[in-house]
Amino acid sequence: MVGVFVGLKLALLRSSLRRSTARAVGFVAGTVISVAGACYAAVGLALGQGEPDAPDVAVLAFAGLAVAWLVLPLSFGAGGDESSDPTRLAVLPVRPRRLIAGATASALIGPGPLCTLVLITGAVVGAAEGALGSFSAALVTVLAVPLMLLLCVVASRALLASFARALTGRRGKDAAALGGVLTAVGGYAAYLLLTTAGSGLALPPLVVRVLRWTPPGWPADAIRAAADGRTATALLELAGTAALIALLMVWWHASLARLMTTTDSSTAQAVKVRAGRTTGLRARLLTSSRTLLVAHHQFSAFARSPRHRMTMIAALAYALLFPVVMAAVGMRTPYAAVGGAWVFGLTVPGVLFALDGSAIWSNVATLRTVAHARAELVGRLLPQLVVIAPWLTAVATGVALVSGRTDQLAAALGVSFALLGVTFAMGMAISVFHPYPYPEDPWSVSAPGQSGGYHLANFLSSILGVVAVVPVIAGAIALNGSVFLWLLLPLGTAYGLLAVLVTLRTMGRRLFDKAPEILTTLRMS
Amino acid sequence: MQHPPEGDAVPAAVEVRGLRKEFDGKVAVEGVDLTIPRGSFYGLVGPNGAGKTTSLSMITGLLRPDAGTVTVAGYDVWQDPYEAKHRIGILPDGLRLFERLSGRELLRYTGRLRELPAPDTEARAEELLDVLGLTEAGDKLVVDYSTGMRKKIGLAAALLHNPPVLFLDEPFESVDPVSAETIREVLRQYTATGSTVVFSSHVMELVAALCTHVAILAKGRVIADGTLDEVRAGRSLNERFMELVGTPAGKAKGGSLAWLGSSSG
């Protein structure tokens, strides 16, 4: 059964990559970059060997990995892994133990587990000072690696299976999406705090002590215990980890058995919405201006579709958290709002076409002029702007007031608006040249690696966006302290607006010409 | 404005010439020619993978052909999309709808995209919802619709601007018999006034019962087309179709699968 599952996983991966060269390149590039990142972090962790806090770092790293494995698949699906859905085997006579063994084996394949393995190895090496002194200590150290990896993977799958029914229902997806965003935002805050906290690890010792007693802390602490000669403690901790993995497997199997024999949520009660009035001024406006019509439609998508809402809430939260965390570590200036503007840029391609996917066929079917195409672009960006511009202004003003740097407020907003305009422009270009369909159902897609190329392009373009606002940043530096610093507000805003208008001209034309091709790409979701 | 100009010499509602499409070197549609008379109820039949959906997508302006021309109501779909798109109604297969709109809102959105006056959109939408039995479900989100309801709301959206030519991709697939009869009735009424329906299906009985004209597609080519009676040449449409397309059912008769059903389990 293990062989069958592994073969299935590899076959799914291969065939999804074979569908398009761009996807294959994106997947490979994404994997290489993430593994390289993991190696870099792992080397950092390993080089900490001998530092007094190295064992604490290992505890923290293990706890972080465990949380990531529990939270990320819940909010973003199991990494597009159809083989992680054993309910597909419901009609086959497979014994529970073999089913779980097979599913575990297939879950261990992929870039995610590979990166995790690299990170665990790094953390273990970092914590392993003196662990090679005795055979038992060395054994504990070596065993800690696979046990920790198994703990992550099995806990993640068990949790996913137990929530699967709730997650496949519409409301469940809505809730998971929102919960995922909040957790991701919280994790981001924790990450920022940890990485910017200055010299090494500034966590209170109490936190580490508590984490050491949580399950992911056991294998990490076992290494230190073994190195200190407390072999019994070390073995107990490893045995505890193994027992927990076994328990999680039992839970996993029980959830699967329940999943296979109960109804899904397709019979759930439907939601009714009341359509507003359709005559009068609003109706006339929406009929006469395609820009307003598309913007209105987009607003209702933010109100009703959890994935639209999720992108927006996440961006708003990041924009707020970034300056707060920056202030916490000493960067007390409204310029921190610029980070928020950058994050908003990353959401633009999603908002333009990716979230709607092939549903935009009805817009394509009515795209009769280039002006219509420009209206599609402006209409989809307008609600973004209406929400973002006041939000950034409020955040920057708040930071300026709290930090007492109101003199920098106008300039900070100028740079923010310039960056916002440039990232909007980049987002338009990405959407039109490299459209990407978000999978319709992230919990049951069979195409791992679809998104690698898109996210890479989006990320690189946002870096390029920062380069493009260098003139404005240079202006801010040049005028720093001068009485003309406020000039950056109108200049920066104009710069951003110009970037949007120039791009809109060319991208509107391109969208009109290439709408069928864009639809063909979006159809592949 | 929705019918061709006076004195238009083109007799056909849809003219397709040399339509061709390849996907990654694999030919999906290989030189399709069709002449679809105005006022006809035109069935496009063929086995899975024959190129029906690809052809309909290219004819309606949703997929760019590698070669060939399409004229709808006298306007070239790819040269003059401004005029042509206005005259086309589409119910595509395999494309998403805006799931988070209610049925009523979806019709309104479509009407506005089509630049219909608001009162017209409103009145037509209510009538269509009523006739298609969706009035009750009009305020439910499309995401909660069954397959049959989706096909019906899609049909309503396609009919809203009263196009002279309507293209339906598998309108009866997974649709319950009651909804199917409703759809049939609406389409009969629509063609009775001189409008044209082109639809794809693999249910021969349905095509034989509804259509005035038929084209049989196989492996990306038209292998027979004309009036229903011309194509079926005195036999049932199903027999004629099997004869033209060829069937592997003969293999099952010839003694393969001898083990099947003999076991007592």
Among the partner-chain residues A274, A287, A363, the one whose CB lies closest to the CB of B115 is: A287
pLDDT interval class at B59 (50, 70, 90): very high
Which of A183-187, A374-378, A443-447, A459-463 is predicted least confidently?
A: A443-447
The token duo for A216 is 């992911």
Distance from CA of A352 to the nearest CA of B (A): 14
The whole model's pTM is what?
0.74
DSSP sequence for A303-314:
HH-HHHHHHHHH
Picking from B24, B95, B168 by the largest number of A CB atoms within 10 A of its own CB, the best residue to mutate is B95
Q: In the predicted model, is pLDDT for residue A326 greater than 90?
A: no
Report chain A residues whose CB lies below 8 A from the CB of B94.
Answer: 358, 523
Which of A171-175, A192-196, A335-339, A492-496 is predicted least confidently?
A: A192-196
Supply the pLDDT for residue A166: 64
The token duo for A312 is 């927006």
- Specify the DSSP element, H or E, that contains B67: strand B67-72
Cα angle: B82, vertex B86, B89; to 5 degrees = 135
The token duo for A367 is 């795209």
Q: In the predicted model, is pLDDT for residue B204 greater than 90?
A: no
pLDDT digits 0-9 by tens, A349-387: 777 887 788 889 999 999 999 999 999 999 999 988 999
What does residue B109 show for φ and ψ, rounded to 5 degrees? Answer: -60, -45
The residues of B whose Cβ lies within 8 A of any Cβ of A are 60-64, 81-82, 85-86, 88, 90, 92, 94-102, 104-105, 108-119, 121-122, 138-141, 143-144, 157
Cα angle: A47, vertex A40, A154; to 5 degrees = 95
Supply the pLDDT for residue A361: 92
Among the partner-chain residues B62, B85, B105, the one whose CB lies closest to the CB of A519 is: B62
Supply the pLDDT for residue B131: 92
pLDDT digits 0-9 by tens, A143-154: 999 999 999 999
Which of A110-114, A122-126, B20-24, B40-44 is predicted least confidently?
A: A110-114
Q: Do B95 and A284 touch (CB under 8 A)?
A: no
pLDDT digits 0-9 by tens, A300-314: 888 887 777 777 877
Q: How many CA atoms lie within 13 A of A95 on its CB side?
A: 4
Higher pLDDT among residues A255 and B88, named by residue = B88
pLDDT interval class at A178 (50, 70, 90): low
Neighbours of A371 (CB within 10 A): 13
Q: What percent of chain B has pLDDT over 90?
A: 62
* Residue environment code for B6-28, b if the CB has 16+ CB neighbours within 10 A, otherwise e: eeeeeebbbbbeebbbeeeeeeb
pLDDT digits 0-9 by tens, A58-78: 888 898 888 888 876 665 554
Neighbours of A231 (CB within 10 A): 17
In angstroms, what CA-CA distances link A287 with A265, A486, B117? 37, 41, 7
- Alpha carbon A152 to its chain centroid, in Å, reads 18
pLDDT digits 0-9 by tens, B100-154: 889 999 999 999 999 898 889 999 999 999 999 999 999 998 988 988 899 999 9
Picking from A277, A288, A366 by the largest number of B CB atoms within 10 A of its own CB, the best residue to mutate is A366
